[in-house]
Amino acid sequence: MYPVSSTFGQALRESHTVAVRVDAYLGGSLIASDMPISGGSVSVAGGTGVRRTLDLTIADRALWSTLDTIGVELRPYRGIRYPSGDKELVPLGVFSLDSQSISVGPSGGISVKSAPDRWARVQRAQFEQPTASVPTAQIRAEISRLVTGAVSGITVSTTATSISTVGPIVWDQDRAAAAVDLATSIGAEVYFDVAGNLRIADAPLLGQTPVWTVDASPSGVLLSGERTRDRQRTYNVVVAYPSSLSGSAPYAPVIAADTDPTSRTYVGGPFGRVPYRYTSPAMTSSAQALVAAKALLNRVKAINAQLSVEAIVHPGLDRGDVITVLTPGGTTELHLIDSLTIPLDIGGTQQIITRSSRPDGDVPTGE
């Protein structure tokens, strides 16, 4: 979660005044500040690839020529205006203005649809010729090298704990897929954060400290919710096996399984054993494969239990955050956020979808 003051969190539970701002930048220089808008939202998606997208309607059509330049990036913010007049704003991302349209009638504004974060630049910057890895370099460093080769001048924050090194790999075309595969091989994620900087971090786990409570108390922020259970594309065993480049496998397949008897996807229970197979040339040892398998298991075993929540907007929440949900029935549950929306409409509400849900305390040791 983006760090906010304790005053901010408390204010969200009371009557408060929403503050929204959208700025435009070109080459790092501000070209349009606090543009008038008539609606919009930021969507934070699950999975790999572009993490955040922006939909926006800019009310001032006179800004069309200002924004009609390749390289323009939009930076939206949402927060609170305190009674003193001070504002506390949360950045919501840095978005490429790749496509826009304008009304030619007497009314309407400039429409921006699904503007992507900076990961789209990595996806577009495919390798023009076969590109080799740097053998013995740490995988974290290789991820940074591949991404900054497409998006320069950014800050790279690496908190992934693996120090595994990369083996001899040659990538043909897809730079973004190569970076994601390297991250997966060490149980990590790679993405651009709300400030437009690159982050390489360990994959989130349900055992993390909760950052926010969504509840239906008199001062609560829960408006409604719906629980879904679907065992399709749910697995409780991950088999990580080597990708042989020389004709001989460097290690035997590694298996990570859901061995928690209290889990709904317990391998010894009625769910049975449902394996998910994963391979990558980036995994060069059984120890590295086990790290990747455990991280993938936490992701794929929990899709069968989702909770969709409508709540008062907390703009600082992000995918991978753990929240506590207090249901009207009195149940306390921990949930890992998979996707969410942050509206730019002052009266909008927040949609949050969790990737997993289990009763409080039902977190296996070591997860």
Per-residue pLDDT tens for 105-148?
777 899 999 999 999 999 999 999 999 999 889 999 999 999 99
pTM of the model: 0.83
Question: Which tens digits make up the pLDDT trace of 61-109?
Answer: 999 999 989 999 999 999 999 999 999 999 999 999 988 999 887 778 9
Res 367 pLDDT > 50 = no
Question: Which tens digits make up the pLDDT trace of 232-248?
Answer: 778 899 999 887 655 56
- At position 177, the amino acid (one-letter code) is A
Closest CA to 115 of 172, 198, 182, 41: 41
**How would you write the chain as a 3-class SS string?**
CCCCCHHHHHHHCCCCEEEEEEEEEECCEEEECCCCEEEEEEEECCCCCCCEEEEEEECCHHHHHHHCCCCEEEEEEEEEECCCCCEEEEECCCEECCCEEECCCCCCCEEEEEEEECHHHHHHCCCCCCEECCCCCEHHHHHHHHHHCCCCCCCEEECCCCCCECCCCEECCCHHHHHHHHHHHCCEEEEECCCCCEEEEECCCCCCCCCEEEECCCCCCEEEEEEEECCCCCCCEEEEEECCCCCCCCCCCEEEECCCCCCCCCCCCCCCCCEEEEEECCCCCHHHHHHHHHHHHHHHCCCCEEEEEEECCCCCCCCCCEEEEECCCCCEEEEEEEEEEEECCCCCCEEEEEEEEEECCCCCCCC
Q: Please, are residues 37 and 56 in contact by the beta-carbon 8 Å criterion?
A: yes
More confident residue, 249 or 184: 184
* CATH architecture classification, 121-202: 3-Layer(bab) Sandwich (3.55)
More confident residue, 171 or 332: 171
Question: Which tens digits make up the pLDDT trace of 271-289?
Answer: 899 999 998 888 888 888 9
CATH superfamily label, 212-230+303-359: Bacteriophage T4, Gp27, baseplate hub, domain 3 (2.40.30.150)
Return the minimum-mean-pLDDT range out of 172-186, 216-230, 337-351.
216-230
Instruction: Give me the mean pLDDT over the 310-317 stretch.
Output: 95
Q: What is the pLDDT of residue 304?
A: 52
Q: How far apart are the first and last CA of the chain?
A: 20
Closest CA to 320 of 289, 349, 352, 284: 352
Closest CA to 299 of 338, 272, 262, 329: 338
1 CB contacts (<8 Å, ≥6 apart)? 211, 212, 316, 317, 318, 321
Instruction: Give me the mean pLDDT over the 313-324 stretch.
Output: 95
Q: What is the pLDDT of residue 329?
A: 72
